[in-house]
A and B are shown apart, each in its own frame.
Chain A
Amino acid sequence: MAVCVAVIGKDNSPLYIGGIGNDCSTDNELSRQWLVHTALDALEERLATSSSINANSGNSTAHTDLRDLYLGLLYSTDTHKIYGYVTNTRIKLVLVTSSTSPSGSNIRDAEVRTALRRLHALYADAICNPFHLPGDQITSVKFDKQVKSLILNNV
């Protein structure tokens, strides 16, 4: 079960952080922000290696396809696993699952991939709102609702 998803902009500013939990207290919100931001370093690192490998394409390593938008598991702690996805437009999508709950501990990679793909589709729709300015936080209620249902149903 996904705990939270986040959309991070080009300049690492959070555009949207949403999650489900028992309560929406400040404490919960803070821990979400913290979880998502711990993953950003790992995310940047993956991106940097992918570009350097492309620069000298001779030594292709046994990595997964680095041109893939989905970056896989970035970071895992005792309680959470963090997956990343970076679009061509450098928007970073982060999904956090709980590794303590039974449904979250044996989550399949393909499921996370589809969830992040769908989140990307939702983001692309949200950005097409003519009142949304690039770089602003996403305040759309519709987007929020769709993301919440994505978290509940898919993963």
Chain B
Amino acid sequence: MADDIIFELLHSEIINYAKEQSKNNGNKETDLSVVEYIGFAAGYKIMERLTREWPRFKDELDTMKFICTDFWTCIYKKQIDNLRTNHQGVYVLQDNAFRFLTNFSNGHQFLEYAPQFVAYTCGLIRGGLANLCINSVVTAEVQTMPSCKFHINVQRTT
């Protein structure tokens, strides 16, 4: 499908842009907060549309299930493969063939570049949850190439 590739190319250009910016500013490390913020804004806005036809969510787990199924299908054309939680606000979402990484390799080659390609998605999840009134910190972990784990840490205000 042609419309899928447009999103992928735009995404990789955004990352190139962020790399270029941080090089110009003299940083050795790539500053990914811009990419994360773009994801956040997109996630926040897309959530209003996606949940329009949905009944109200029962609880937090219900919301996470929504993220794993409908939200993921809408953006990455597949569902999350594994959802784990400790029922205390930590959720781990595992995608065995993460779309932005499948084109690279099936091994450890390019592993050092992987974090750049998951920052946007972290922001996307965080923004989506923020609009559903769940404040969270989302981090990602890549061990072997196309698979990726997202850790969602819900911040409770107590």
A residues sitting closer than 8 Å to B (CB atoms) are 10, 50, 54, 65-69, 86-91, 120-121, 123-124, 127-128, 130, 134
Contact = CB atoms under 8 A, between A and B. Distances in A.
B59 interface: yes
B26 interface: no
Given A123-B48, A127-B45, 11 more contacts: A10-B133, A65-B55, A67-B55, A68-B55, A87-B52, A88-B51, A89-B47, A89-B48, A89-B51, A128-B45, A128-B49
Contacts of A88: 47, 51, 54, 56-57, 132
A49 B58 CA distance: 12
A75 to B, nearest CB: 20
B44 interface: yes
Interface of B: 41, 44-45, 47-49, 51-52, 54-59, 131-133
A50 B55 CA distance: 12
A82 to B, nearest CB: 20
Given A10-B133, A89-B132, A134-B131, A50 B48 contact: no
B55 A69 contact: yes
Contacts of A121: 52
A90 B134 CA distance: 11
B47 A54 contact: no
Contacts of A130: 41
A120 B55 contact: no
Contacts of A54: 58-59
Nearest to B41: A130
Given A88-B132, A89-B133, A69 B48 contact: no
A69 B56 CA distance: 6
A129 to B, nearest CB: 9
Given A88-B132, A89-B133, A90-B133, A50 B56 contact: yes
Contacts of B44: 134
A140 to B, nearest CB: 14
A7 to B, nearest CB: 12
Nearest to B133: A90
Nearest to B128: A89
Q: Which of A10, A54, A88, A127: most chain B Cβ within 10 A?
A: A88
Contacts of A90: 132-133
B126 to A, nearest CB: 13
A89 B45 CA distance: 10
29 contacts: A10-B133, A54-B58, A54-B59, A67-B55, A67-B56, A67-B58, A68-B55, A68-B56, A69-B55, A69-B56, A87-B51, A87-B52, A88-B51, A88-B132, A89-B48, A89-B131, A89-B132, A89-B133, A90-B132, A91-B48, A121-B52, A123-B48, A124-B48, A124-B49, A124-B52, A127-B45, A128-B48, A130-B41, A134-B44
